[in-house]
Structure formats: C-alpha cells, structure tokens
Amino acid sequence: MEMEKRSRQSNKPPVRVSTQVTKLNMEITEMNHPSHPHTLTLKPPGVPYHCSGCQELGFGPSYRCDYDDCRFILHDECANAPSTGVHRFFKNSHFKFYEQPPGSKTRVCDACGKDILGFVYHCPRTEYDLHPCCMKLKESISDNGAKITLKLCNKVPSNCLKCNSRNTFNGIAGWSYASRDGKYCYHVSCVKEMVVEKWKMGYFSAGESNRTQMLDYESQVAMTSTEMMQIGQGSIGRTVSKYIRIAKIMFKLIFSAIFGDPISAIAALVEAMVSN
C-alpha cells in the first residue's frame, strides 16, 4: 500500500491512455493510464483483487503494475472507461468520468447504494452517480439452458431474496435483477455485500472446507429469505426446495454479471454454491 501511495504522489504528469500489443507466448495488452505513472499490463482472471480505481472487488481480467512491489491494479472496465456515458435508467443524465468523486460531500452509487470511493460516472446536472462496474451491468442475463432469465430493474418489483426488503441497506431503492414475472429478485447491493463479506473472511481461498462453508452459507441465505414466502402454502418441502434452487441460480448469474466470469478455481466454488 505504501508503494501505491508513493506512485500516486509521483510528480510525473498524467499520460494519455494508450494501448499496445506485444507478442510473447500470447498477446499481452499494455497501457499507460492517467491515474498511475507506471505501465499497466492486462492479466487474465486470477485471485480476487481490490481495484485501485473504483475501490470495488474484482474477479475478472485486470490491468496490473509490475513495477517493483507496486500493487496498483484496475478493473478492465475502469482502465478502459470512456470519458462520457449515458444510461437508459437516467434518460436526462449525461455522465462524465471522474477519477475522484466531485464535490466535498459523500457520494453514493445510484445503482448499488454503496459509497463512491474512487472512479465514478457523475452527471453534474442531475447529480446521479454510478460505479464504472454498475454502469456496464447487462440489461438481461440467462443461464445456459435459458430456463431462467433475469432483467435489470431500477424499480424493485418484489422483496429481495437476501434482505427481504425493497430498499437497500441504506434506504436507497437501488437496482435489482428480477425474474420475468417479478416474483424473485436480488438487489445488486445485496449480492455485492454477500460476496465482499465472504471474501474478507477468506471464503474464496483454495480448499474444500471453504467451498463447503460457502455452499452451507448460501443454502442458509436462500432458506431464510424464502421462509416468509411459504406461509399458507402446501407441499412445504418441495416449495422450499424450488425457491432455494431458483435463488441459487439467480445468485450465480448475478455474481457473473457484477464481478465477471471467475477462473476455474472460483467457478468451482460458485458452482458448489448453486448446486442442488
């Protein structure tokens, strides 16, 4: 972290973003980014990391600094963030990319409800803010068999399966991924919180014990979040099993939409979380 701080305090002027492809055993993309004085190299998905740009968790491809012990790292979407953007949920907003949140007050992402701590898309006129990773969320996601399709919603159609509420933890409505009929949904913020919490506890490290813990944890989450939905219904056992299965598949899809498709080791862990 000390090296990262020294890198950010470098007297070198910002370098205009550029990319170049170098042939080694494979094609490796390198770039110079205005937020960092050293060259960044594109790396394939590996262990989970903390993005130095938006300060959010990442699992997918990243741009990393190989200079000495510098630990600077950027999400692919943070490293290649366009200078401006629009979003269909905010039709009157024109977003500009900032390396630091503008103004003195604490800004909150209008998609996930989490604080903005670094890179952000901000509309000066409407005051809306989005994390780069939230800005790029897909409008719809489906499982391989297309049996379950989830749609990104800015108005939560039903209580979140995780928190059993329509609002996020800080009272913001936030976005959710919901089933076509609107009966099942997860807040984007709830999935983020769930994954970050377990990452901090070491659940994404290698080991069968961690994999089993995650499977048990997600089963408990799915069971708790659906218990209220079972009151007054028949065939309780089969109904609960159905809801748990749907909740797990939804979690897997949303995990990939937010964090990117994980490498095989993490994919196996996620698979365990959504297995019957």
Mean pLDDT for the stretch of residues 250-258: 82
Q: Which of 115-119, 256-260, 264-268 has the lowest mean pLDDT?
A: 264-268
Top pLDDT among 264 and 246 is at 246
Residue 98 clears pLDDT 90, i.e. is over it: yes
Query: Which pLDDT band, with edges at 50, 70 and 90, does 240 fall under?
Result: low
Choosing among 3.30.60, 3.30.70, 1.10.1740, 3.90.1690, the CATH entry for 84-135 is: 3.30.60
pLDDT in tens, 32-72: 999 999 999 998 887 788 999 999 988 888 899 988 889 89
pLDDT at 194 over 60: yes
Average predicted confidence (pLDDT) for the chain:
74
Instruction: Say what the pLDDT of residue 181 is.
Output: 86
| Residue of 13 and 270 predicted with greater confidence | 270
Residue 2: which pLDDT band, with cuts at 50, 70 and 90?
A: very low
pLDDT category, 93, cuts 50, 70, 90? Answer: very high
Q: Examine the pLDDT at 127 and tell me if it is beyond 90.
A: yes
In terms of average pLDDT, the best of 5-9, 159-163, 238-242 is: 159-163
Contacts of 206 (CB under 8 A, 6+ apart): 265
Spatial strand order of the sheet with 90-98 comes to 84-87, 90-98, 120-122, 129-130
Taking the CA atoms of the chain, what radius of gyration do you get in angstroms?
Answer: 20
User: Once rounded to an integer, what is the mean pLDDT over residues 200-219?
Assistant: 52
Domain limits, the chain: 2-78, 84-135, 140-274
Q: Tell me the pTM.
A: 0.73
pLDDT in tens, 140-176: 888 776 578 899 998 888 888 888 888 776 667 789 9
Q: Is it the case that residue 220 has pLDDT exceeding 60?
A: no
